[in-house]
Chains A and B, each alone.
Chain A
Amino acid sequence: MRALEHLIQQKGVPGVVEMVPSYSALLVYYDPLVVGYDALCASVTAVTRELDTAVLPPARVVELPCCYDDPELAFDLEAAAVKLGLEPPELVRLHAEATYHVYFIGFTPGLPYLMLPERLRIPRLDTPRTALPPGSVGLGGGQCCVYSVESPGGFWIIGRTPLRLYDPEVSDPVLLQPGDTVRFRPIDRRTFGEIAAAVAEHTYRPVIT
Chain B
Amino acid sequence: MIRVLDAGPLPLTTVQDLGRPGHLRYGIPPSGPMDRLAFVAANRLVGNADGAAGLECALVGPRLEAMRPCAIAVTGADMAPTVNGERRPRWTAIALRAGDQVRLGPAKAGMRAYVAFSGGIDVPPVLGSRATYMRGQLGGLEGRALRKGDTLRLFDAPIPPARRVVDPPDADPGLEVTVRVVLGPEADRFTEAGVKAFLTGAYELLQQSDRMGARLRGPRIAHARGHDIISNGIALGTVQVPGDGQPIVLLVDRQSAGGYTKIATVCSFDIGRLAQQKPGRHVRFQAVDVAEAHRLLHEHRAATDRLVLETIGQRMEKS
Q: List the interface of chain A (C-beta within 8 A of B).
A: 5, 17-27, 29, 32-33, 36-37, 104-111, 113, 148-149, 166, 168, 171, 173-174, 177-178
Residue of B24, B143, B230, B301 touching A20 (CB-CB under 8 A): B24
Residues on the A chain within 8 Å of B258, using CB: 107
Interface string of B19-50 (1 = CB under 8 A from A): 00111111110000000000000000000000
List, sorted by A's number, 16 A–B pairs whose CB atoms are closer than 8 Å. A5-B25, A18-B21, A19-B25, A22-B233, A23-B231, A23-B232, A25-B230, A36-B294, A37-B290, A37-B294, A107-B255, A109-B27, A109-B136, A110-B26, A171-B126, A173-B136
Given contact pairs A22-B233, A104-B257, A149-B135, A33 touches B297 in the complex (Cβ within 8 A): yes
Task: Show the binding face of B for A, using Cβ within 8 Å.
Answer: 21-28, 126-127, 135-138, 143, 230-235, 255-258, 290-291, 293-294, 297-298, 301
Residues of A within 8 A of B24 (CB): 18, 20, 27, 29, 106
Residue pair A22, B21 in contact (C-beta under 8 Å) = no
Is the CB–CB distance between A178 and B27 below 8 Å? no
Rounded to whole angstroms, the CA-CA distance of A34 and B132 in the bound complex is: 28
Q: Which residues of A contact B23 (CB under 8 A)?
A: 174
A173 x B138 contact (CB < 8 A): yes
The CA of A111 and the CA of B135, in the complex, are separated in Å by 14
With beta carbons under 8 angstroms apart, the residue of B234, B235, B256 that contacts A105 is B256
Residues on B with beta carbons closer than 8 Å to the beta carbon of A104? 25, 257
In angstroms, Cα B257 to Cα A25, docked, is 10
Contact flag A32-B27 (CB < 8 Å), given A25-B233, A106-B231:
no
Cβ of A17 and Cβ of B256 under 8 Å apart? Answer: no
Between A24, A105, A171, the greatest number of chain B beta carbons within 10 A of the residue's beta carbon is seen for: A105
B137–A20 touching, CB < 8 Å: no
Q: Which residue of B lies closest to A176 (CB)?
A: B26
Interface of chain B: mostly helix, strand, loop or mixed: mixed
Q: Which B-chain residue is minimally distant from A5 (CB atoms)?
A: B25
In the bound assembly, the distance between CA atoms of A149 and B138 in angstroms comes to: 12
In-complex Cβ contact of A22 among B138, B231, B293, B301 (8 A): B231
Which residues of chain B come closer than 8 Å to A17, judged between CB atoms? 21-22
B126's closest neighbor in chain A, by CB? A168
Known contacts A110-B27, A168-B136; A22 and B257 CB within 8 A of each other: yes
B-chain residues with CB within 8 Å of residue A108 when the two chains form the complex: 27, 135-136, 255
CB contacts (< 8 Å) of B137 on chain A: these are 168
Task: Tell me the bound Cα distance from A104 to B234 in angstroms.
Answer: 13
Selected from A29, A37, A113, A166, the residue in CB contact (under 8 A) with B136 is A166
| Given A25-B233, A108-B27, 11 further pairs, Cβ under 8 A | A19-B25, A23-B231, A24-B232, A27-B24, A27-B232, A27-B233, A106-B257, A107-B27, A107-B256, A107-B258, A177-B26
